[in-house]
Amino acid sequence: MSKLLIVGTVAFDAIETPFGKTDKILGGAATYIGLSAANFNVQSAIVSVVGEDFPEEYLTMLQHKNIDTSGVEIVKGGKTFFWSGRYHNDLNSRDTLDTQLNVLADFNPVVPETYKDAEIVMLGNLHPIVQLSVLEQMESTPKLAVLDTMNFWMDHALEDLKKVIARVDVITINDEEARQLSGEYSLVKAARAIEKMGPKYVVIKKGEHGALLFYKDQVFFAPALPLEEVFDPTGAGDTFAGGFTGFLTKTGDISFDNMKKAIIHASNLASFCVEKFGTERMQNLKREEVQKRLLEFKELTKFEIELA
Amino acid sequence: MSKLLIVGTVAFDAIETPFGKTDKILGGAATYIGLSAANFNVQSAIVSVVGEDFPEEYLTMLQHKNIDTSGVEIVKGGKTFFWSGRYHNDLNSRDTLDTQLNVLADFNPVVPETYKDAEIVMLGNLHPIVQLSVLEQMESTPKLAVLDTMNFWMDHALEDLKKVIARVDVITINDEEARQLSGEYSLVKAARAIEKMGPKYVVIKKGEHGALLFYKDQVFFAPALPLEEVFDPTGAGDTFAGGFTGFLTKTGDISFDNMKKAIIHASNLASFCVEKFGTERMQNLKREEVQKRLLEFKELTKFEIELA
């Protein structure tokens, strides 16, 4: 079976939503990606960094999900990256209350020897220089390199970001970020412009409005499941990325048709993530729940149409 | 074949978008609905009112589309309803620059004798009292009554609006209006709340994000075609309503499964409407273009998924 290499933050989050607030809980892009990909029983490893304050039980939990954490550096005397944010009433926007980079400030990622030949590499949201360093440590060009990023890096490290973008096969960003990166309002035009920067595939995440996959002149649309209640959107995009790469790792098929399926699985998993605070839902997600909701996805968009 | 009765405005619009502006051109909810439904070669009639300033060529054009305009009252010495608006850069919001009710102020709709037994009634956006009056003139309860409305009536005539809502089978509104009408942010909850007000089916239009059809505990999602350029969104919702009711009128089948198809046809037609100013695109739409894009809709959301 293929292997999935994940780089991204492993962190503490403190989250406020209209429905409540948390103390410091487990968070971070790589955490969500790993937990999501674990639903496909793939071999995966996380490259990240934490401080001495990071509870061992969290790492144990990840290991129990078949995630190799030997690439998670534990900095003696260091403090784990901390992010705190408050969501607005519509849950579509948020304010960052606090960001403490801590050990992330001097992070030099080290890819475990056994993962230098990983077929799929998922570059989770992090400084583009760190993402680039991971790519450069690979023994051979991965079968598929997928990049997730955010507007922060477009604002503060655009040149570095463009270097990573030029080297990946797939980029996943949200609609506003696609517009910012391309300077195009139309998402069709934005995707075309981003394809010219390097990635053959462009995935645009629209949150509650679903996701679009662009490849050459083709486009695929995956809906988001209409949910009765979104509790906490934190990590939904990372969970999406983890579902996407987890499915591709498991199937070993990176064709456009299989990517469509991957997007559906990704949307499905993301729909669970938002139902509870932080990683809680993803830590305890059952196979039967995932399968059941996949069927709902099928029903949601299934139609027969005849040309009259 | 079934008959489709349409009530709504027939009007002059003056539109400004980031791409240009128009003088007074043909507009109005009933105009868009009629032009859209005409793609199914159904028998339809418009109930509306215009002033003496309304060019006869416009009525002739509608008649050539097989639309009965005997229910369009022409008020001697009166002036046609006029709306003028300017769209913001993202085309998702607009400012009304001018509204002149003119002949619409004293409009008493009269349903033509030959349409008092119409199977499908499309109540286009207009004062709820006018919509109610049309329903009351029907000889028998129509097979399907569909209501389109907007936030303006929620703000200014909520009690009247609720009376119409209680009497229709389907309501089509946009996401913000569904939230306003129900007081629920979640669209799933909003749809359930609105179902309790009367309609068995709730269609929530999300513009570029597609449309949702709710019926009991079932939900269907139709994507919007990702367009390279939206030129002028005016009339897209009415075109959607016209496509929806036109297809149902043609097929005579008001099952949930057929409504799914109707929503796809509706989205398809709406995707053309926004490509040019006003009704221009809908006046000259060719059957082959419609069929071709329907196939694109199929491709857009088609996926195979196996439960692993």
Residue B205 DSSP SS3: strand
Q: For B209, which of A209, A228, A297 is closest by C-beta distance?
A: A209
Q: What is the pLDDT of residues B210-238, one digit of tens each?
A: 999 999 999 999 999 898 888 999 999 99
Q: Which residues contact B183 (CB under 8 A, 6 or more apart)?
A: B193
* Distance in Å, alpha carbon of B114 to nearest chain A alpha carbon: 27
- Distance of alpha carbon A71 from alpha carbon A82, whole angstroms: 19
If you measure CA to CA, which chain B residue comes closest to A220? B300
- Distance of alpha carbon A7 from alpha carbon A206, whole angstroms: 23
- Distance of alpha carbon B265 from alpha carbon B243, whole angstroms: 6
Q: How confident is the model at residue B303 (pLDDT cuts 50, 70, 90)?
A: confident
- Distance of alpha carbon B78 from alpha carbon B50, whole angstroms: 8
ipTM: 0.86
Question: Between chains, do B90 and A305 touch, taking CB under 8 Å as contact?
Answer: no
Question: Between chains, do B89 and A185 touch, taking CB under 8 Å as contact?
Answer: yes
In this model, does residue A307 exceed pLDDT 70? no
- Determine the pLDDT at residue A42: 97
- Distance of alpha carbon B246 from alpha carbon B262, whole angstroms: 8
- Determine the pLDDT at residue A249: 98
Which positions in chain B touch A189 (Cβ < 8 Å)?
Answer: 228-229
Q: Which residues contact B171 (CB under 8 A, 6 or more apart)?
A: B146, B147, B148, B149, B165, B194, B198, B199, B201, B202, B203
Q: Which runs of consecutive H residues, i.e. helices, occur in B185-255?
A: 187-196, 236-251
Question: Between chains, do A220 and B89 touch, taking CB under 8 Å as contact?
Answer: no
In this model, does residue B193 exceed pLDDT 70? yes
- Average pLDDT value for chain B: 95
Which positions in chain B touch A187 (Cβ < 8 Å)?
Answer: 226
- Determine the pLDDT at residue A288: 96
If you measure CA to CA, which chain B residue comes closest to A225? B221
* Distance in Å, alpha carbon of B177 to nearest chain A alpha carbon: 15
- Distance of alpha carbon A177 from alpha carbon A198, whole angstroms: 16
Token readout for B25 is 């051109």
**C-beta of residue B219 within 8 angstroms of C-beta of residue B212:** yes
Q: How confident is the model at residue B307 (pLDDT cuts 50, 70, 90)?
A: low
If you measure CA to CA, which chain A residue comes closest to B250? A308
Q: How confident is the model at residue B93 (pLDDT cuts 50, 70, 90)?
A: confident
If you measure CA to CA, which chain A residue comes closest to B307? A291
* Distance in Å, alpha carbon of B115 to nearest chain A alpha carbon: 25
* Distance in Å, alpha carbon of A260 to nearest chain B alpha carbon: 6
- Distance of alpha carbon A193 from alpha carbon A178, whole angstroms: 9
Share of chain A above pLDDT 70, in %: 99
Q: For B261, which of A186, A300, A303 is closest by C-beta distance?
A: A303
In this model, does residue B201 exceed pLDDT 90? yes
Domains observed in chain B: 3-301 (3.40.1190.20)
Q: Which string of b and e fits B83-118 if b means at least 16 CB within 10 Å?
A: bbbebeeebeeeeeeeeeebbbeebebebbeebeeb
Question: Between chains, do A300 and B220 touch, taking CB under 8 Å as contact?
Answer: yes
Q: Which residues contact A198 (CB under 8 A, 6 or more apart)?
A: A165, A166, A167, A168
Q: What is the pLDDT of residues A248-284, one digit of tens each?
A: 999 999 999 999 999 999 999 999 999 999 999 999 9
Residue B124 identity: G
- What dihedral angle (degrees, nearest 10) is formed by the CA atoms of A22, A226, A250, A242? -30
Substitution target in A184, A275, A301 with the highest count of B β-carbons within 10 Å is A301
Question: Between chains, do A221 and B300 touch, taking CB under 8 Å as contact?
Answer: yes
Which positions in chain A touch B223 (Cβ < 8 Å)?
Answer: 210, 221, 223, 301
**C-beta of residue B52 within 8 angstroms of C-beta of residue B77:** yes
Question: Between chains, do A212 and B226 touch, taking CB under 8 Å as contact?
Answer: yes
**C-beta of residue A103 within 8 angstroms of C-beta of residue A10:** no
If you measure CA to CA, which chain B residue comes closest to A251? B308
Q: What is the pLDDT of residues B128-171, one digit of tens each?
A: 999 999 999 999 999 999 999 999 999 999 999 999 999 999 99
In this model, does residue B11 exceed pLDDT 70? yes
* Distance in Å, alpha carbon of A86 to nearest chain B alpha carbon: 18
In this model, does residue B195 exceed pLDDT 80? yes
**C-beta of residue A267 within 8 angstroms of C-beta of residue A244:** no
Q: Which residues contact A49 (CB under 8 A, 6 or more apart)?
A: A10, A72, A73, A74, A75, A78, A81, A103, A104, A107, A109
Which positions in chain A touch B189 (Cβ < 8 Å)?
Answer: 228-229
Which positions in chain A touch B297 (Cβ < 8 Å)?
Answer: 305
* Distance in Å, alpha carbon of A134 to nearest chain B alpha carbon: 31
If you measure CA to CA, which chain A residue comes closest to B257? A303
Token readout for B191 is 């749809």
Question: Between chains, do B90 and A304 touch, taking CB under 8 Å as contact?
Answer: no
- Determine the pLDDT at residue A308: 53
- Distance of alpha carbon B41 from alpha carbon B291, whole angstroms: 14
C-alpha A131 chain-centroid distance: 13
Q: What is the pLDDT of residues A10-33, one digit of tens each?
A: 999 999 998 899 999 999 999 999
Question: Between chains, do A307 and B295 touch, taking CB under 8 Å as contact?
Answer: yes
If you measure CA to CA, which chain B residue comes closest to A305? B261
- Distance of alpha carbon A1 from alpha carbon B12, whole angstroms: 65
- Determine the pLDDT at residue B229: 84
- Distance of alpha carbon B51 from alpha carbon B54, whole angstroms: 6
Q: For B228, which of A186, A257, A304 is closest by C-beta distance?
A: A186
Q: For B298, which of A230, A299, A305 is closest by C-beta distance?
A: A305
Question: Between chains, do B295 and A308 touch, taking CB under 8 Å as contact?
Answer: no
* Distance in Å, alpha carbon of A19 to nearest chain B alpha carbon: 13
- Average pLDDT value for chain A: 95
Q: Which residues contact B115 (CB under 8 A, 6 or more apart)?
A: B3, B5, B45, B47, B68, B71
**C-beta of residue B242 within 8 angstroms of C-beta of residue B236:** no
Q: What is the DSSP string of chain A?
A: --EEEEE---EEEEEEETTEE-SSEEE-HHHHHHHHHGGGT-EEEEEEEEETTS-HHHHHHHHHTTEE-TTEEEETT----EEEEEE-TTSS-EEEEEEE-GGGGG------GGGTT-SEEEE-SS-HHHHHHHHHH-SS--SEEEEE--HHHHHH-HHHHHHHHTT-SEEEEEHHHHHHHHS-SSHHHHHHHHHTTS-SEEEEE-GGG-EEEEETTEEEEEPPP--S-----TTHHHHHHHHHHHHHHHH---SHHHHHHHHHHHHHHHHHHTTSSTTHHHHT--HHHHHHHHHHHHHHH-------
A148 by Cβ neighbours in 10 Å (0-12 / 13-18 / 19+) ranks as buried
Q: What is the pLDDT of residues A50-73, one digit of tens each?
A: 999 999 999 999 999 999 999 999
Q: What is the pLDDT of residues A282-299, one digit of tens each?
A: 999 999 999 999 999 888
The model's pTM is 0.91
Question: Between chains, do A261 and B226 touch, taking CB under 8 Å as contact?
Answer: no
- Determine the pLDDT at residue A91: 82
- Determine the pLDDT at residue B308: 53
In this model, does residue A1 exceed pLDDT 80? no
Q: What is the pLDDT of residues B253-296, one digit of tens each?
A: 999 999 999 999 999 999 999 999 999 999 999 999 999 999 99
Token readout for A236 is 């939904």
Question: Between chains, do A221 and B226 touch, taking CB under 8 Å as contact?
Answer: yes
**C-beta of residue B211 within 8 angstroms of C-beta of residue B203:** yes
- Distance of alpha carbon B162 from alpha carbon B131, whole angstroms: 12
